[in-house]
Amino acid sequence: MEAKKRMPAANNGGGAVTVDQDASDEHGEDGTELGAIRVHNSVIAAIARLAALKVPGVVEMSGSFADGLASMVGKSSFDRGIKVDMEDQKVNLDLHIVIAFGVRIPQVAWRIQNDVRKAIEDMTGKKIGLINVIVQGVKLPEPARV
């Protein structure tokens, strides 16, 4: 049975509100006298997804068969094609992408790594370990319709 942590949620209404979070899917800071800050894996995946999709030449994120099944039962599309792991206080990512035909794959992959690293570090303060870019497909341009 998985252990659940109860942590206080932000509440502007005044009453006590708690939110159950799966401790294995969140990355926390040691905290201060005000409390701890935890960033869930799905938030890190969403940041990575948005940063990767902004890179010219990236058409879409490509999920695995398991991601397809998970989307049928309610898994968010924001972490489709992205795996987030924590190792030695660093975040490691696997990004599965589909690129546009004709782009230089090494240049696109390098830009994805840099842009995703910067976005996650800027928004979360987390240190990034590895960002593995796995090109799973190439998309041909759509034929022009007259």
B/e letters for 98-112, b = 16+ CB within 10 Å, e = fewer, are ebeeebeeeebbebb
The pLDDT value given to residue 137: 94
Could you state, in chain order, the average pLDDT of each consecutive group of 10 residues for the chain (146 residues)?
43 39 54 85 94 96 61 57 91 96 97 98 95 95 76
What structural domains and CATH numbers belong to the chain? Answer: 40-139 (3.30.70.1350)
State the DSSP code for 36: -
Measured CA distances, 89 to 83, 99, 106, 130 (Å): 16, 31, 28, 12
CA angle 99, 97, 50 (to 5 degrees): 100
Look at the chain and count its residues.
146
Whether the full predicted model's pTM is greater than 0.75, yes or no, is: no
Evaluate whether 117 touches 131 at the Cβ level (below 8 Å).
yes
The pLDDT value given to residue 21: 40
